[in-house]
Chain A
């Protein structure tokens, strides 16, 4: 079965510091995408970053970057220069086989402290 695991239910970080959220997944597929979504208190789901599995280069979006280790099936999110607005739930997501089904991890609640 395809699974996504986020082993850190909660994390906190001081403003301006760097934090890494972990995610592991299990799949037999070779080509796929991986996603990190942010859910602030407003509960909207916002795409933060995506990684294409066939690309060895780690994706980067401004202060957000990933450490993608395909062999280890690991997809961690690094947030640099953390800001108060980064406080949110962060979900790692991975598409199941077929075309419709994103599988989400249980999420990591990140608190950025002033």
Chain B
């Protein structure tokens, strides 16, 4: 069964450093998403991406965050200057169509980001 692949599985970074989280969505999917889950809390939407541009973003997704699809297969989330409160599990997801018509997202297995 096709999978969404995320790397690395765990990243530890110093506060103030830049991190890039990487994702390879399912090849025939058109919509890509990033979500995060702070330990013990619910899953929160960050951003959606379609046709090489951001289609929707949440309040969490401020100027410190950016997304890119550099080469047609990878989908990255960059945090420019990490803060302690950015420590969370970050999930990439992809879907064939927008959620109103979707068969559901396929999530990756997540990247655990720890900011120290």
Which A residues are closer than 8 A to B by beta carbons? 29, 31-33, 35, 37, 42-47, 50, 91, 93, 95-96, 98-107
A35, A43, A45 interface centre (most CB from chain B within 10 Å): A45
Q: Is the CB of B105 within 8 A of A100?
A: no
Taking CB atoms, residues of chain A closer than 8 Å to B103 are: 33, 50
Q: Is the interface of A mostly helix, strand, loop or mixed?
A: loop
One digit per residue, 1 when the CB lies within 8 angstroms of any chain A CB and 0 when it does not, for chain B 56-71 equals 1010000000000000
Given A100-B56, A101-B58, A104-B42 in contact, is the A45-B104 Cβ separation under 8 Å? no
Residues of chain B at interface, number, CB under 8 A = 32
Contact B100 A95 (CB under 8 A): yes
Which residues from chain A contact B35 at a C-beta distance below 8 Å? 102
In the bound complex, how far is the Cα of B110 from the Cα of A91, in angstroms?
16
Instruction: List chain B positions with a Cβ less than 8 A from chain A.
Output: 31, 33, 35, 37, 41-45, 47-48, 50, 55-56, 58, 89, 91, 93, 98-110, 112
The residue in chain B whose Cβ has the minimal distance to the Cβ of A34 is B104
The 8 Å CB contact of B100, one of A33, A37, A47, is A33
Chain A residue numbers with a CB within 8 Å of B45 are 100-103
Contacts A33-B104, A44-B110 known; A99 to B42 CB distance under 8 Å? Answer: no
Interface pairs (29), CB distance under 8 Å = A29-B100, A43-B89, A43-B110, A43-B112, A44-B107, A44-B108, A44-B109, A45-B107, A45-B110, A47-B105, A50-B103, A93-B43, A95-B100, A95-B102, A96-B99, A98-B55, A98-B56, A98-B98, A99-B99, A100-B31, A100-B55, A100-B56, A101-B45, A102-B33, A102-B45, A102-B99, A104-B43, A106-B41, A106-B42
